[in-house]
Every structure is written in C-alpha cells, then in structure tokens.
Amino acid sequence: MSESLANPLLPAPYRVLRNQRNTHDVFTLDVEPVKKGNSPLFSPGQFNMLYIFGKGDAAISISGDPTKEQPLRHTIRRAGVVTQALEQVKPGGVLGIRGPFGVPWPVKEAEGQDVLLVAGGIGLAPLRPAMYTLLANRDKYGRIALFYGARTPEDLLYLSDLEQWRGRFDLQVCVSVDTAKRNWMGDVGVVTKLIAKASFDPSNTVALVCGPEIMMRFSVQELKKNEIKSGNIFLSMERNMKCAVGFCGHCQYGPHFICKDGPVFRYDQVQSLLGKREV
Amino acid sequence: MELLEKILVQHPFLKDLEQKYVQLMVGCASNVRFDSGTFIYREGDEANYFYILRAGKVALEIHDGGRETITIETLGEGDVLGWAWLVPPYRRHADAQALELTRAIALDGKCLRDKCRDDHNLGYELMMRIVPLITHQLQATQLQLMDVYGVKK
Amino acid sequence: MISKNESFSDALSAEKKVVFVAKKDLPALFDSLWTNGFRILGPTLGEGAIVYEELNGVGDLPIGWTDEQEGATYRLKKRDDEALFGYNVGPHTWKKFLFPPKHRLWSAEASTNGLEITEEKQVIQKFAFIGVRACELKAILIQDKVFLGGEHVDPVYHARREDALLIAVNCTQAGKTCFCVSMDAGPRAESGFDLCLTEVLKEGEHYFIVEIGSAQGAEIMANVPHSNETREAEKAIQTITAKTAKQMGRVMDTENIQSLLQDNFDHPRWDDVASRCLTCANCTMACPTCFCSTVEDVTDITGDHAERWRQWDSCFTLDFTYMNHGHARTSAQSRYRQWMTHKLSAWFDQFGTSGCVGCGRCITWCPVAIDITEEVSAIRENQTAAKPTSS
C-alpha cells in the first residue's frame, strides 16, 4: 500500500528565482522545483506551506497566474519569524514547499454569472489567480468587478496589474484606501462602500471575498444588502496552520478544518460562526 | 426647475418623499459646479448647505498644524455631502475639496432647518434620511480606525 | 495489507470463532506473538499506576492489582484474587504507540547549492497490543479515521497501525468514572480486534474465553493450547459484560448532543467551568482520541542540519490558535468550549462519529475533577438557545 502514499508532511526543495518587493512589508517570491519538472498545478485560492531552513513553515496563498506556464508565485507579508526570514531569501536560495492544499475559489462554477472580487490588504494575493482565470476566459462570465481596499496608497499591491485591469473596458476596478495624504487622487473610505456603486445582477452574481475577518464580515453585510444570495458569497478564512492536511487540529473553526475544508468557504457554511467571539 | 426636480426625485436620498416636500426641496435647491481644487467648504464654516453629488469627486480632509493633510473619505456620484447643517452649532468639521470637476445640487439647509421647525413631519422625513448616512459613516470610520489591514505591533 | 480506502476494521472482520485458554497457557500466547515477530505492549505497574509499556512476559501484567478512580483521583489497590486484567483504564492510551508523543518527521541538510530534505524512515517492529478495552478499541478506530480516512495519510501513524495486532480484553468491572455504555463504546468489544479475551475467575478456575476476530488472530492462536469447547461461551461473555455495564460510574445523555453544544455557544456554564479549569491540558493528553499536534523546527550548532519534530499539542494552550494578528482563543471559556464541543459535536461533522468513547480518563486525570458528563448535563438542563414552546 505504501507505494502510492505521498508523504504530505515532507517538503520538496524549490529554488528562488526572484524576490521582488511590492510594498514596505510585502514581497513576492518566484520559485521552481529544484528537481527538474514543472511546478505542480494549482487552482485559484489554494495555498502552499513554505519552509525556510531551520525556522519553520508559513501557509502562503499562491498568487501567480494558473493559466500560464510560469514559476510558482507567492506574495507574502512580513509578519512573523518565518516570513521575516523568507523576505531575506536571495535568488538561488532554496526553500521547502508542501502543497498545493485547500479548497479553491469556485471560478468554474461561476461561469455564466457576474463576478465580484472583494479584496482587503494582502487578501488580493489569493484573489489574483481567480482574476487571471476569469480574464483568460472572459467571454464565459458576465460583468466582472474588483473592489480592493488597502491601508494607504503605499500599501497597494500589484500596481501594474491594477493599471492594466483598469484599462480594460470589460472590467470594473474600484480601489479605496483607509487613509491617504493629499497627493492621492483615488478613493478614500472603506472598501465595502464601493460595492453599492457597482452594477451587477444580484440574482446572478458570485462574490469572492478575501481580507481580514472583520472586513469580510462587513463586506458580506454590504453584499447581502445588495441582495446577493448567501450561497453565492465565498470567503477565504485564516487560522493557525501547522500540517495543512487536517492532522494537527490547529486550524479548526467550528466543525471545519480551514486547511482541508477551506480556506474558501461558502458564506452559509460559516455564517453562524462569523460573528462569534473566540470560535 | 423641472430638471432639478427630475434629478432630485431619482436620487435615493429623496426616495418615497411626499410630493409636497419634494416641491419644497426643489424650492431650496440650485445647481452648482466646483472646479478641481476648489474648497466647497472649510472646517469651521457655517454649514448652510448640503450637496447631492451628481458627478466628480470630493475629498473630506483634516489638517493638523504642521502635519500633512489627511484625506479621511472621498465622495462621488450619488453621495450626499455634509450633514452639519442639521445639527447645532451648524459648523463644518472638515474641509471638503473638489478633487476633479464636480457637479452637484446644493440644498439650502438653513432654509430647510426653518421649515423643519415649522413642520415636524418634514423634520422626521429628513432625519430618517440623514441619520443612516451618519450611521454608515460612523461604521466606516470605526473600521478605518481599526486599521484592519495593518500588522499587529 | 490494507489499502487506503479500506478501513482496518473491515479487514479484521473475518470469521468469528471462540475458544478457551487456561491461565497457565497464556505464556504460549506471548510466545506465539514473539515467534510471529511482534513486540508485545500492554498493561504493567509503573509510575504508581497501571501503564502501557513493553511486556517481557505474563508476569509483567498487573496481576492481582486494581485501581480506584474518581474525579481527580486514582489509587492502585491490591485485589483479593490473581486477576490479570482486573483494573480499569489508566493514564496511558495506545495512541502513545501509534502516534508517539514526540517524533522526528524529517531532517534537512543545508548545502552550498541547496537543501536536502530526508524523510524519517518508519522502521517499526510490529506491535501487538494486549489488553485493549472496548472503549480503547473504538478510540483506535476513531483515530484511524483522522489519520488514515481522509485524502492524505499520516505516514507515522500508518506505519505503526498497519501491522498492529489488537488483543482486546472485555471489562469485567467498571470504574467510577466510566461511561462507555452512554457512548455506545463498551463494555464489550464487538469488532475491530484480532483477538478478544474475557477473563473468568470462578470456583477456583482461571481461564480466558478467546474470541478470534481475524485470520491473523487465528494464526496466532494456532500455537496456543486451547479447548474448542465453545458451549456457553457467548452466554458467559454476555453475563460478565452485562454486569460491568450496570456498574458504570457515570452517565452521559447524548440525545441531540451535536446540536445541543452548537446551539449553546454562549451558555453561562462555559464561564462556570472556566472558573475551575486550569487549562493544564491533562484531559487532552489522557484522551485516547485527541490527536492535535504541533511541530518544532530545530537546528544543530553548525547551522547546517535541521530537523522537524512533531509532538502532541493541546487546544487548551494559548499558542494553539496563534496568528500574526493575535490568538483566536484567549479565554479559558473558549478553550474548554472548543475541546468539549469538538469532542462531542464537531467530531460528527468531521469524522461521522463522536470523539468521546466514555473511558473517563479526562475526569480521573483532571486535577480539579471537571466532569464532562456533568458539564453536558448542566448545559442540557438550562439551555440558552431559544426553543419554540407551545405554552
């Protein structure tokens, strides 16, 4: 029996090709397997466990373009010991990677419908592969809109993507920051405010939401106010993760394991837990 | 006047308002435009008007001595700018600056205030329309204050 | 050999046969296990309790010993007979063998041109567990679901479980913290064993009724002197285990328990239990189904060699829910609620079964005698969730 059982706890070595800075505390690593062969296929919304020698693992969403042959891409915010060490990795350095893990965004299932992407902060990273997939199959979807909230204009990710997306006539891109200096000519205010201004058919719209939990809660309220059905709203949840395959118990959220039942959940799966404290 | 009425009745702010009150509002309304960079009002100004924005973008700004001016919110098409006209001491608490050419309908709050005093039903109707705007803004401000996207220090 | 999609219990449900083995012939069972390459693990006296360790012979069993248990209380006591299995479950569980408390998962070497990661080889001498109680057998089958039943298989657990031989023992007495009857987990071992012993001490006779639960069990028994006289065996087992069932020290009403706990997330009882709970994690360490773990990454002094170690963890620790922006469960209320709600409610959603087998260890080994059965009753009696009434 053992022959077919890959060890999900064993990282494979990946070489860093590029370490690019996005903002003062966010950077993007491009990696490829040290052993010859392509990076494993992934679906938008899935994540990998990145191991840096001697320090430990961090769960990082995959943020590259799944429709193109390109290195595996991870956009990471410096937050803890592991991400601090990852930030220092130079091209040529080697990481250990396990994955991809988790339930992806329902991009395929959303075909034929309007799609709203609501991103807060680093939450744009796991949504970017979804956007790439939507755009690569543009004719299969109705209206597409991205609502992206960040702390300040300096914290905005993927400026060249945003610029390119803004330039398209078949895509609505709304960006808002919490606070800005006078030189920012864009919107200021919470991202949820933008939702009401978009045009979509509420009865035939799928919303993909990723950001801090509180921002997702308020986004859901706004989406519901705009009559989008609970079953069509999807959230990407976060909890402490160690094993990523449902063995270690850390990421439990009510009856769910975020790692294997999520990270993407339909809103009505987590609705009863979302407002509760210390779940 | 007819055009003003048409624009006003379509705006969510006046949704389901009795015809006689709409007429009254139209009587207090005028079309205005602000070029990019114009201050619509400044902190401390008497709050005599509020604005239903039709196009453009307005920044609400707060400045603090030598520190850089901070934009706390931007408003655009469909938004209602200003509610200080309804609450004593009727003074502006931020600067409002047009970031681009902005068209709006200005409503004479001072005139409406007096009318509300005489007709509490009108006062109620206006309160029921202004309070949700304030609440919404308060909730948004709470979220902004939480700095939800920041890393915990 | 058991494939991934086949549960271990299925593989063991071969023809069932019953034989008798005299106490004097029990060493032959040990010999047969050794001959078949097994390492025998079972109950023995140690650390002031009856614990599970490697056995070097029948003499290592806790012959003539029993225990007295209550909330926060465990005492060894001499029996007035020479029973081999005349005790209730102790502080150890079989998970310490199948899922070792601390083990290396892999090693890594840093080199100038990269990183070599080497999987830990799982070289295990086959385990034969002797003295597995019905509740523990059920606990093992529950952990099988956790580690083997999903999309991924845990290599550490799998290597140990794959060839493990389970020799169950039916309980001839129940302890004051036992409630396996409530959890439908005992006192009789119904299935999932290779062999199941029922110890009989009667009118100067001392023998074992042995139920054979698998082909491998039968193979082991082939070298053990036994009588094939099976008449009355079934009745004897039933009589003994029925008597045990009547001695249960605790009862838990499990009706609608899944929704009961889900619906009482904000029950004041959580505050009450938190005022007693020390969040010491004893209950999770003693629990035969608790499976949570964490990992630790270590390096040697040269900095070129790193290892990842996995060890048991507990949802009662603060760090269990650490995220960069804070901890999800900071209060004792939330951590006790997580443990109990997971065990008795969320487990059904996750694994289609309760996570509790009624062994009573969490009651006995809680330093302040928190009693899970009592906590359930308290919540049940005074539910906070509004229920439609017809008054």
Q: Does position A131 have pLDDT exceeding 80, yes or no?
A: yes
Tell me which residue in A10, A56, A245 faces C119 most closely, judged by beta carbons. Answer: A10
Whole-number mean pLDDT of chain A?
94
Averaged confidence pLDDT in chain C: 93
Report the pLDDT value the prediction gives residue B13, as an integer from 0 to 100: 87
Strand order in the sheet with A205-210: A187-188, A172-177, A144-150, A114-120, A205-210, A233-236, A264-266
Tell me chain C's radius of gyration from C-alpha atoms. 22
CB contact under 8 A, B151 and C326: no
Residue C98 has pLDDT above 70, yes or no: yes
Averaged pLDDT, C189-214: 96
In terms of residue numbers, what domain contains B126?
A: 2-146
What is the edge-to-edge ordering of all strands in the sheet holding C127-132?
C17-22, C205-212, C195-202, C165-169, C127-132, C39-46, C49-54
Find tokens 């009862």 and name the residue. C251
Among the partner residues B74, B99, B150, nearest to A189 by beta-carbon distance:
B74
Nearest to A46 by CA among A104, A93, A106: A104
Tokens describing residue A177: 């920051």
Residue B32 has pLDDT above 60, yes or no: yes
Q: Coil, helix or strand for A52?
A: strand
Amino acid identity at B19: Q
Cβ-Cβ contacts under 8 Å between B and C: the total is 5
Between CA C347 and CA C353, with CA C350 as vertex, the angle to 5 degrees is: 50
Q: What is the pLDDT of residues B78-133, one digit of tens each?
A: 899 999 998 899 999 999 999 999 999 999 999 999 999 999 999 999 999 999 98
Residue B29 lies in a domain: yes
pLDDT grade for B153, boundaries at 50, 70 and 90: low
B146 interfaces chain C, CB cutoff of 8 Å: no
Helix, strand and coil in chain A, % to nearest 5: 25, 30, 40
Q: What is the pLDDT of residues C322-363, one digit of tens each?
A: 998 889 999 999 999 999 999 999 999 999 999 999 999 999
**Rounded Cα distance, A102 and A62, in Å:** 11
Q: Which of residues 18 through 77 in chain B touch A, CB cutoff 8 A? A: 57, 59, 61, 68-74, 76-77
Tokens of A246: 């449902």
Q: What is the DSSP letter of A69?
A: -
Tokens of B13: 């702010």
Count CA atoms within 13 Å of residue C114 on its CB side: 15
Chain C residues with CB under 8 Å of A254 CB are 262, 346
Torsion of CA C57, C63, C66, C67, to 10 degrees: -40
Question: How much of chain C, in percent, has pLDDT values that exceed 70?
Answer: 94
Q: Are strands C322-323 and A26-33 parallel, antiparallel or unpaired?
A: unpaired
pLDDT of residue A4: 45
pLDDT above 70 (res C289): yes
Mean pLDDT over residues A115-141, rounded?
98
Residue A42 backbone dihedrals phi, psi, to 5 degrees: -135, 165
Question: Neighbours of B (≥3 Cβ pairs closer than 8 A)?
Answer: A, C
pLDDT in tens, C24-73: 999 999 999 999 999 999 999 999 999 999 999 999 999 999 999 999 99
Q: Check residue A35 and give its pLDDT.
A: 87
Token pair for C298: 């270590």
For B130: left if phi > 0, alpha if psi spans -120 to 50, otherwise beta; the answer is alpha
In this structure, which amino acid lies at residue A84?
Q
Residue C267 DSSP one-character state:
-
Q: Are strands C102-111 and C114-119 parallel, antiparallel or unpaired?
A: antiparallel
List the single residue in A78, A176, A179 with the smallest CB-CB distance to B72: A179
Residue B149: list chain A partners with CB under 8 A. 120-122, 149-151, 155, 178, 211-212, 215
Residues of C in contact with A80 (CB under 8 A): 324
Checking if the pLDDT of C9 tops 50, the result is no
Q: What residues form DSSP beta bridges with C116? A: C109
The reply to whether C325 touches chain B by the CB within 8 Å rule is yes
Average pLDDT over residues C300-322: 95
Distance CA A215, CA B143 (A): 8
Interface test with B, best of A76, A178, A213 (most B CBs within 10 A): A178
CB contact under 8 A, A212 and C115: no
Domain boundaries, chain A: 2-101, 114-236
Contact B71 A181 (CB under 8 A): yes
How distant is the Cα of C322 from the closest Cα of chain B, in angstroms? 12
| Contact: C4, A1; criterion CB under 8 Å | yes
| Helix, strand, coil percentages for chain B (3-state, nearest 5) | 40, 30, 30
Band (C384; pLDDT cuts 50, 70, 90): low
C115, C152, C295: residue with CB nearest A96: C115
A114-236 in CATH: which number?
A: 3.40.50.80
Q: To 10 degrees, the CA torsion angle through B104, B110, B111, B112? A: 80
Sign of CA dihedral C284, C286, C290, C291: positive
A-C C-beta contacts closer than 8 Å: 129
In the prediction, which pLDDT does A134 show?
A: 98
| Chain C adjacent subunits, 3+ CB pairs under 8 A | A, B
Is the minimum CB–CB distance between C323 and chain B shorter than 8 Å? Answer: no
Integer Cα distance of C367 and C72 in angstroms: 5
Residues facing residue C12 across a β-bridge: none
Query: Which class would CATH give A2-101?
Result: mainly beta
pLDDT tens digits, one per residue of A201-252: 999 999 999 999 999 999 999 999 999 999 999 999 999 999 999 999 999 9
Q: What is the pLDDT of residue A1?
A: 37
Specify the pLDDT at position C387: 55
Residue A89 pLDDT exceeds 50: yes
Examine the pLDDT at B150 and tell me if it is beyond 80: no
pLDDT at A5 over 90: no
Phi and psi at B142, nearest 5°, equal -60, -45
Q: Which of residues 289-318 of C touch A (CB under 8 A)?
A: 291-295, 297-299, 303, 306, 310, 313, 315
Is residue A6 over pLDDT 90?
no
Cα A272 to Cα A129, A266, C347, distances in angstroms: 29, 12, 17
CA distance C360 to C365: 9
Q: Where are the beta strands (DSSP E) in chain B?
A: 29-34, 39-41, 49-55, 57-62, 70-76, 80-81, 95-98, 102-108
The pLDDT assigned to B137 comes to: 86
Domain count of the fold of chain B = 1
